[in-house]
Copies of this chain bind each other. A is one copy, B any other.
Amino acid sequence: MDMPDPRAAVLSKKANLVERLQAVLPADAVIHEAQEVLAYECDALTAYRCPPLAAVLPSSTEEVAAVLRICHEEGVPVVPRGSGTSLAGGALPTADSVILGVARLTEVLETDYDNRFIRVQAGRTNLSVTGAVEADDFFYAPDPSSQLACAIAGNIGMNSGGAHCLKYGVTTNNLLGVTAVMMDGTVVEIGGAHLDAGGLDLLGLICGSEGQLALVTEATLRILRKPEGARPVLMGYNSSEVAGRVVSEIIKAGILPVAIEFMDRPCIRATEDFAGAGYPDCEALLIVEVEGSDAEIDAQLGVILQIARKHDPVAIRESESAEESARIWLGRKSAFGAMGQINDYMCLDGTIPVDKLPEVLRRTAEMAAGYGLEVANVFHAGDGNMHPLILFDANAPGELEKCEALGADILRLCVEVGGCLTGEHGVGVEKRDLMSDQFAPEDMEAQMRVKDVFDSAWLLNPAKVFPLAVSAARRAA
């Protein structure tokens, strides 16, 4: 008796799928040759790679719906991909999946200054949303570091933040509505053009759901009027603990700066060598930026400087010109690049209560010493979004494993002090096994049951967010 060849079955399944996809999309929108799909084998978490079965690049909501309908009928998992900048493996394919890229969905559909919103296709990059309204003096507030490249679709999936989110909130606070396609191809409108839509807050569910509930094709975003001006002040301290206390006291004083950025000594040194921004030599450096008219800026900086001076600063530098402001920001903006020049590093993304900053910085350093590794810190201090960079040598055997173990310990510490595993990068594949440290089995069950409602066959980005063992029964179904 002949045994069936399992490889032949897979190949024939793929051929059938590609044929069906080609029937609903232009020829160049279906990528299926082995050499070509390699371009989609990973995102910015390059340690994990896996080429997908195929990748599609639809140009409209209707094309997205047609693709999802086919994949739903064929039982093929779909992995949504924005611009592929995820640091958590949010767009990592599985071998049996189709990558659905939104790169061709880039149109501005509507701008409405009276009601302060813009409606765009979800593949548009974050920065080009502001680009579409800045001539009229408006802007879109969330500003992830990757804003030149990252897509609004990915921002919505991960509920992205950025340096400005202390004042303006993260994506969920600036998202008014979406057009989305359910896994079975149904097109739905969720939210609208107001802050408060009717019905259950399904929009809140979509935002931060890491592409597991529906595929967002259009988004209505809140836009804001540009402030008249902004001015940063730089302050250096000889202890991270003291710098942490300064952050707490600024928040407590009721001042809401646009940004409070924090860098520690390893980071300051690396960026000085790299960018020469003229940073002082100290243990901890804060960049605090406030916005408004000159009078407002003066008033806010007055309070901030009073607090800063009480704590025995090594240096305080108030910007007196646009050039000086740019130079103050230069170091911060080069920090990741600078660290990359001198070390391999792993970038974490936990959040903690602001008043726990000193404790977390101290215990992180202790834990790193225990592993014989060094950690550099550069992060959004105002809202407690930490980005510890674990420095290591990728070529030394065993270092990556030590680095991952330390990373897990640091994120567990974030959860222990009342924070959470991810501020803006998402869980993806990177942190799925740590979910059990933050959530009880009942909590994860509740979240998975909500996914059941939207995607009962678990075909949308299925192998993410939850520990594989926890979601196994559903993914097999």
How far is A169 from B195 in the complex, measured between Cα atoms in Å?
A: 8
CB nearest to A191 among chain B residues = B420
A90 located at the interface, meaning its Cβ lies under 8 Å from any Cβ of chain B in the complex? no
Q: Which 10 pairs, one residue from A and one from B, show the smallest C-beta to C-beta distance?
A: A225-B254, A204-B204, A198-B420, A114-B355, A295-B295, A201-B204, A114-B248, A449-B453, A200-B447, A115-B353
Q: Which of B170, B204, B299, B351 contacts A293, CB < 8 Å?
A: B299
How far is A422 from B198 in the complex, measured between Cα atoms in Å?
A: 7
Task: Report A138-182 CB contacts with B as 1/0, cut-off 8 Å.
Answer: 100000000000000000000101000000011011000000000
Flag if B199 contacts A439 (CB, 8 Å).
yes
Chain B residues in 8 Å Cβ range of A439: 198-199
A34 located at the interface, meaning its Cβ lies under 8 Å from any Cβ of chain B in the complex? no
A327 located at the interface, meaning its Cβ lies under 8 Å from any Cβ of chain B in the complex? no
Flag if A196 contacts B170 (CB, 8 Å).
yes
Flag if A252 contacts B114 (CB, 8 Å).
yes
Chain B residues in 8 Å Cβ range of A201: 159, 172, 201, 204-205, 207-209
Task: Report A420-440 CB contacts with B as 1/0, cut-off 8 Å.
Answer: 111110010000000100110
Chain B residues in 8 Å Cβ range of A186: 442
Flag if B115 contacts A354 (CB, 8 Å).
yes
Chain B residues in 8 Å Cβ range of A226: 254
A227 CB → nearest B CB, Å: 8
A32 CB → nearest B CB, Å: 33
Q: Which of A172, A188, A450 has the most CB of B within 10 A?
A: A450
A170 CB → nearest B CB, Å: 5
Please tell me the size bucket of the interface on A.
35 or more
Chain B residues in 8 Å Cβ range of A422: 198
A467 located at the interface, meaning its Cβ lies under 8 Å from any Cβ of chain B in the complex? no
Chain B residues in 8 Å Cβ range of A173: 169, 173, 195
Task: Show 29 A/B contacts (Cβ-Cβ < 8 Å), sorted by A.
Answer: A114-B248, A114-B251, A116-B251, A116-B252, A159-B201, A173-B195, A188-B443, A192-B418, A192-B419, A193-B418, A194-B419, A196-B208, A197-B420, A198-B422, A198-B438, A199-B439, A200-B208, A200-B209, A200-B447, A201-B201, A201-B204, A201-B207, A205-B205, A224-B254, A226-B254, A293-B299, A295-B299, A296-B299, A450-B450
Chain B residues in 8 Å Cβ range of A169: 173, 195
Chain B residues in 8 Å Cβ range of A365: none
A473 located at the interface, meaning its Cβ lies under 8 Å from any Cβ of chain B in the complex? no
Flag if B200 contacts A423 (CB, 8 Å).
no
A379 CB → nearest B CB, Å: 14
Q: Which of B195, B202, B208, B252 contacts A446, CB < 8 Å?
A: B202
A404 located at the interface, meaning its Cβ lies under 8 Å from any Cβ of chain B in the complex? no
Within 8 A of B (CB), among A190-237: 192-205, 207-209, 224-226
Flag if A196 contacts B113 (CB, 8 Å).
no
Within 8 A of B (CB), among A124-138: 137-138
Q: Which of A170, A199, A351, A443 has the most CB of B within 10 A?
A: A199
A384 located at the interface, meaning its Cβ lies under 8 Å from any Cβ of chain B in the complex? yes
A292 located at the interface, meaning its Cβ lies under 8 Å from any Cβ of chain B in the complex? yes
